[in-house]
């Protein structure tokens, strides 16, 4: 299931690297949100043009093909940092201390290996599309208005590379926690139980009630 996590920080090199990377991940997630907004604008323009001027937006599907990889991939590392991806933690949630950090380290290293292979494969896919000697540097293009495809294909290895950096930081954090037997390590998502989540939600709602009452 998707976890609900908190991330601790301190002045260590690991924590500073985590915060620096998170600023970049937040910016990329913002770009993904703007991409979603742009799709909405494109839909309004296309539907409005069809209904009022009998002329939909030229290349509407082509533009969607360009924007969809931005939405699908650009925020994947941001989600990983917040432990928002789907995961099954029935067994892991019962572990404590070094067994927990060892299990998290092994799973993180496996994910890192898979993502390195994904970077290699997606870069090869981009490389087959990109050509400095071709028009618009592209060997292929969209069907309608002939947009070059390589920018969309480049997004996958870029986003996966950022995710590899995030997984490497998480592996560093779990290895550090395992060696030091930390109870609450920094720079890694700490899964919260249902009681802690409920307490935070109650405190948030109570704070909102107090602010509305004061107003």
Tokens of 194: 């249902």
Contacts of 129 (CB under 8 A, 6+ apart): 138, 139, 140, 148, 149, 150, 153
Tokens of 9: 């920080």
Better-predicted residue by pLDDT, 106 or 195 = 106
How buried is residue 116: exposed, middle or buried, by Cβ count under 10 Å (0-12/13-18/19+)?
middle
Tokens of 158: 């870029």
Write down the pLDDT at residue 192.
66
The count of other CB atoms within 10 Å of the CB of residue 127 is 14
The mean pLDDT of 48-68, rounded to a whole number, is: 87
Q: What pLDDT band is residue 167 in, cutting at 50, 70 and 90? A: very high
Tokens of 62: 């082509």
Dihedral sign from CA coordinates of 9, 118, 91, 96: negative
pTM: 0.84
Average pLDDT, the chain: 87
Is the pLDDT at 103 greater than 80? The verdict is yes
Q: What pLDDT band is residue 100 in, cutting at 50, 70 and 90? A: very high
Dihedral sign from CA coordinates of 4, 78, 21, 27: negative
- pLDDT above 70 covers a percentage of the chain that reads 89
Better-predicted residue by pLDDT, 53 or 168 = 168
The mean pLDDT of 162-187, rounded to a whole number, is: 95
Is the pLDDT at 207 greater than 70? The verdict is no
Is the pLDDT at 54 greater than 90? The verdict is no
Is the pLDDT at 191 greater than 80? The verdict is no
Is the pLDDT at 202 greater than 80? The verdict is no
Closest CA to 147 of 129, 160, 159, 133: 129
The mean pLDDT of 181-205, rounded to a whole number, is: 76
């Amino acid at each position: 299931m998707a976890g609900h996590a908190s991330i601790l920080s301190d002045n260590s090199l690991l924590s500073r690297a985590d915060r620096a990377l998170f600023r970049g991940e937040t910016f990329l997630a913002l770009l993904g949100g703007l991409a979603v907004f742009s799709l909405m604008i494109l839909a309004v323009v296309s539907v409005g043009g069809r209904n009022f001027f009998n002329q939909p937006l030229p290349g509407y599907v082509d533009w969607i093909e360009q924007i969809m990889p931005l939405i699908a991939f650009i925020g994947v590392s941001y989600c990983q940092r917040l432990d928002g991806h789907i995961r099954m933690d029935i067994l892991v949630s019962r572990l404590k201390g070094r067994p927990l950090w060892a299990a998290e380290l092994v799973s993180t290293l496996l994910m890192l290996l898979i993502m390195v292979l994904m970077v290699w494969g997606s870069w090869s896919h981009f490389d087959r599309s990109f050509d400095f000697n071709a028009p618009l540097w592209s060997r292929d293009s969209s069907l309608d208005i002939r947009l070059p495809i390589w920018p969309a294909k480049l997004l996958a290895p870029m986003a996966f590379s950022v995710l590899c950096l995030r997984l490497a930081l998480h592996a560093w954090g779990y290895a550090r926690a395992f060696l030091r037997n930390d109870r609450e390590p920094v720079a890694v998502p700490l899964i919260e139980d249902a009681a802690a989540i409920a307490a935070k939600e109650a405190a948030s709602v109570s704070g909102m009630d107090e602010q509305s009452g004061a107003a």
